[in-house]
Amino acid sequence: MAQAPRPKRKRTVRKRTTLGLLARMRGNFLTGLVIVAPVGLTIWLIWSVIEIIDAQVVPLVPQIYRPETYGYNVPGFGVIIFLLFTALVGYLARGIFGRQILNWGEALVERMPIVRSIYNGLKQIAETILSQSNNSFKSACLVEYPRRDIWAVAFISTDTKGEVAQKVNEEMVSVFLPTTPNPTSGFLLFVPRRDIILLDMEVEDAAKLIISAGLVTPPTPAERAAGIRVVGK
């Protein structure tokens, strides 16, 4: 009499165990990647900037003052020289003599049509980025964009002034609406103050929300008080 086939219980259990192990390894890998990738990219970017500055600045330093002349290799030596030189220029520019030289140089640049446009554009960009004005993006808000009942995160710049405010004849607020995932580009909107909803989150948290396309949600004030830092989806 033929025997009945044996059940494949052990093989099924072993297969499930293997799949569970692979799933856990995949989850651990993705979790580690989320942690390692930003750190690795940050270190790589900083190191690349240091190498670029060293390659441009070190050749300008006299050979007698270079560390490699005495058998030492100092990464970032050019960065140190660049920072010291920039600080020295800033110190001299604050004095009367330095301001006179700066004014003379800018007057000379103003006489050069192409150079004048490039210099003025770069100067405005630098002053905008390095500006420490108290009105620069201190609050995040919600505005209805691109139509009613659709909300977008924006940054409050300042109260609208000048001709725009006079033409509209209403209390307006100038807001910057960034794009995802690159918040450095966006739109300048003039929005009535009554149509703006202020957010409790910091500007940095709002930027993280925009860059992550909503995958990283900043905690609410209650969650922050409870020790919750970031809510991930």
pLDDT in tens, 130-144: 654 544 677 899 999
Mean pLDDT to the nearest integer, 40-48 = 90
Q: Is residue 212 included in any domain, yes or no?
A: yes
Asked if residue 32 lies in contact with residue 24, where contact means CB atoms within 8 angstroms, the answer is no
**Helices vs strands, H then E, count in the chain:** 7, 7
What are the pLDDT digits (tens) for 176-207? Answer: 999 888 887 899 999 999 999 999 988 888 88
Q: Is residue 153 included in any domain, yes or no?
A: yes
Report yes or no on whether pTM surpasses 0.85.
no
Tell me the C-alpha distance between 200 and 185, whole Å: 23
pLDDT at site 198? 94
Tell me the C-alpha distance between 41 and 34, whole Å: 11
Q: Is residue 86 included in any domain, yes or no?
A: no
Which of 3-12, 19-28, 161-170 has the highest mean predicted lDDT (pLDDT)?
161-170
Average pLDDT, the chain: 82
Q: Is residue 119 included in any domain, yes or no?
A: no
Q: Is residue 228 included in any domain, yes or no?
A: yes
Which of 42-51, 120-129, 212-221 has the highest mean predicted lDDT (pLDDT)?
42-51
Tell me the C-alpha distance between 87 and 130, whole Å: 15
- Band of the pLDDT at 9, cuts 50, 70, 90? low
Q: Is 231 helix (H, G, I), strand (E, B) or coil?
A: strand
Q: Residue 177 is part of which domain span?
A: 139-232
Number of domains in the chain: 1
Which residues contact residue 233 at a Cβ distance below 8 angstroms, ignoring those fewer than 6 apart?
214, 215, 216, 217
Instruction: Please tell me the least confidently modeled range out of 4-13, 28-37, 169-178, 219-228.
Output: 4-13
Asked if residue 186 lies in contact with residue 175, where contact means CB atoms within 8 angstroms, the answer is no
